[in-house]
Amino acid sequence: MDKKNYYVSVQSKTIMQHQGDAAYELEIEATPEEVIKLKELFEDVEYAEELTFSRAHFPGIPYHHDKENDAYDIYLKNVYQTLYSLGTDETKKHIQTMNVLD
Residue that wins the pLDDT comparison between 100 and 8? 8
Q: Where are the domains of the chain?
A: 4-98
SS3 per-residue string spanning the chain: CCCEEEEEECCCCEEECCCCCCCCCEEEEECHHHHHHHHHHHHHHHHHHHHHCHHHHCCCCCHHHCHHHHHHHHHHHHHHHHHHHHECHHHHHHHHHHCCCC
Residues 39-97 pLDDT 10s: 999 999 999 988 887 766 776 766 666 777 888 899 999 999 999 999 999 999 999 99
pLDDT score recorded for residue 75: 94
- Please give the model's pTM, rounded to 2 decimal places: 0.88
What's the maximum distance between 2 C-alpha atoms anywhere in the chain?
50
pLDDT grade for 27, boundaries at 50, 70 and 90: very high
Residues 6+ apart with CB under 8 A from 71: 48, 51
